[in-house]
């Protein structure tokens, strides 16, 4: 139980736009028809995250160390990871900022969507350069716990029918669902978060140096599996609430009033009094993800540059991180106010996250097969699931091209 932290933290960072927005959106539009993809995506993507934790405990290094040590593929991995850090996060920040602005718009509609988007971007920049994140992290964990309780209550008041669940577990693609299906293939989180998980695993391992690596491995993997079960359960509940509460009422989740429509999951099951509570919880949970992306992505870039160059790089490395953070916030803000479609941005950002999935999955698989001692390598069954997971990720990338480029 001492090692459960990294897996739970990973789960809480994953439970954001993909669960609160995407799963509810899928349920509201297609009922339980895409439930099978929620389950399949969680099963087939599990190894990519386990491998990050395994490598960290077995070697004492994060996955960045593994990627830069793969001499045969380094010339591919480094530019690709650079692209994933420099380009893809703009959509991620835009989608998170758009949903967060929608939440504030629902609470204070007289201010305006664009104004709230600007306030969020400027406020985040102030937090980044002020360094005041510890309080936000603690508050987010507390509010996320309340969110889970609220979701469980709402689910209990509007439970699905057994027949609908059984039908939803049978693979089928309803008309007009291909784009949403592709986005859901990235559940529960982006493959790049396996790098963060490896860093959290190291931090937890260093806090208990008296334990053997084998004990640490068992504890870390137990925590990750608990986190994965939590992620699967929350995604299922939000899809179910979308299907049972929003779909029969014909709720549209396409506009800037996204949060107002999402709040009906609670106000029409638990009661109207839950609206302020939903706004507070949703804002804290999603804004913390926005802040984490704006803070974490520049740190990953800094770490990559530092490892490539060798040494600490001096003060210019910190300036590089600051400049990247400002550009990230400004670019995300421009995309947010340019489109004013939070649900669409979530679908787009989550879909584009599939671009990196096959390569990161393959690199993580290579790392645990070739770069760690045999006693720490995964079980053959996990490796078999990983093989199917790589094919799953490649299929998602192909479908992304079909739906976003060729269509």
- Band (pLDDT 50/70/90 cuts) for residue 9 is confident
Residue 299 has pLDDT above 80, yes or no: no
Cβ-Cβ contacts under 8 Å for 203 (sequence gap 6 or more): 6
Mean pLDDT of 125-141: 68
- 88-127 tens-digit pLDDT: 788 888 988 998 999 999 989 899 999 999 999 999 888 8
Place of tokens 């600490």: 312
Mean pLDDT over all residues of the chain? 83
Report which secondary-structure segment, H or E, holds 167. helix 162-168
Nearest to 104 by CA among 94, 95, 93, 115: 115
- Domains of the chain, earliest start first: 5-406 (1.20.1740.10)
State what percent of residues in the chain have pLDDT above 90: 27
Angle at CA 183, nearest 5°, toward 102 and 302?
75
Q: For residues 140-152, b (16+ Cβ closer than 10 Å) or e, as one string? A: beebbeebbebbe
What pLDDT sits at residue 316?
66
Mean pLDDT of 194-200: 83
- 243-256 tens-digit pLDDT: 998 888 887 776 67
What pLDDT sits at residue 313?
57
Higher pLDDT: 303 or 373? It is 373
Residue 339 has pLDDT above 70, yes or no: yes
Whether this model's pTM surpasses 0.75: yes
Half-sphere exposure in the Cβ direction for 123 (13 Å, CA): 15
Residue 208 has pLDDT above 90, yes or no: no
What pLDDT sits at residue 190?
83
- Band (pLDDT 50/70/90 cuts) for residue 406 is low
- Band (pLDDT 50/70/90 cuts) for residue 357 is confident
Contact of 34 with 187, CB cutoff 8 Å: no
Mean pLDDT of 321-331: 88
Nearest to 127 by CA among 288, 239, 235: 288
């Amino acid at each position: 139980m001492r090692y459960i932290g990294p897996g739970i933290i990973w789960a809480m960072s994953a439970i954001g736009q993909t669960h609160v927005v995407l799963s509810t959106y899928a349920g509201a539009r297609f009922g339980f028809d895409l439930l099978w993809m929620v389950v399949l995506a969680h099963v087939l993507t599990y190894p990519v995250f386990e491998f990050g934790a395994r490598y960290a405990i077995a070697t004492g290094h994060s996955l960045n160390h593994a990627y830069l040590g793969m001499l045969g593929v380094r010339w591919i991995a480094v530019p690709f990871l650079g692209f994933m850090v420099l380009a893809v996060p703009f959509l991620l920040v835009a989608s998170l900022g758009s949903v967060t602005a929608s939440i504030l718009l629902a609470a204070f509609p007289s201010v305006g969507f664009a104004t709230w988007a600007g306030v969020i971007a400027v406020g985040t920049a102030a937090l980044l350069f002020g360094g005041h994140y510890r309080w936000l992290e603690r508050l987010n964990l507390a509010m996320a716990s309340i969110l889970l309780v609220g979701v469980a209550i709402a689910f209990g008041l509007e439970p699905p029918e057994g027949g609908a669940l059984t039908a939803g577990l049978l693979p089928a693609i309803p008309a007009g669902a291909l784009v949403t299906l592709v986005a859901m293939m990235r559940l529960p989180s982006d493959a790049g978060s396996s790098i963060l998980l490896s860093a959290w695993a190291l931090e937890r391992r260093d806090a208990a140096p008296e334990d053997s690596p084998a004990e640490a491995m068992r504890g870390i993997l137990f925590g990750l599996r608990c986190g994965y079960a939590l992620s699967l359960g929350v995604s299922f509940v939000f899809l179910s609430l979308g299907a049972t509460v929003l779909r029969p009422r014909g709720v549209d989740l396409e506009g800037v009033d996204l949060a107002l429509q999402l709040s009906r999951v609670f106000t029409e099951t638990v009661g109207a009094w839950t609206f302020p509570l939903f706004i507070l919880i949703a804002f804290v949970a999603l804004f913390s993800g926005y802040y984490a992306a704006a803070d974490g992505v520049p740190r990953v870039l800094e770490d990559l540059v530092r490892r490539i160059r060798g040494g600490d790089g001096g003060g210019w490395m910190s300036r590089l991180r600051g400049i990247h953070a400002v550009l990230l916030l400004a670019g995300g803000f421009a995309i947010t106010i340019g489109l004013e479609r939070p649900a669409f941005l979530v679908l787009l950002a989550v879909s584009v996250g599939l671009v990196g999935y096959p390569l990161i999955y393959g690199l993580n698989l290579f790392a645990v097969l070739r770069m760690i001692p045999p006693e720490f390598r995964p079980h053959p069954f996990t490796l078999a699931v990983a093989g199917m997971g790589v094919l799953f990720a490649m299929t998602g990338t192909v479908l992304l091209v079909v739906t976003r480029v060729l269509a």
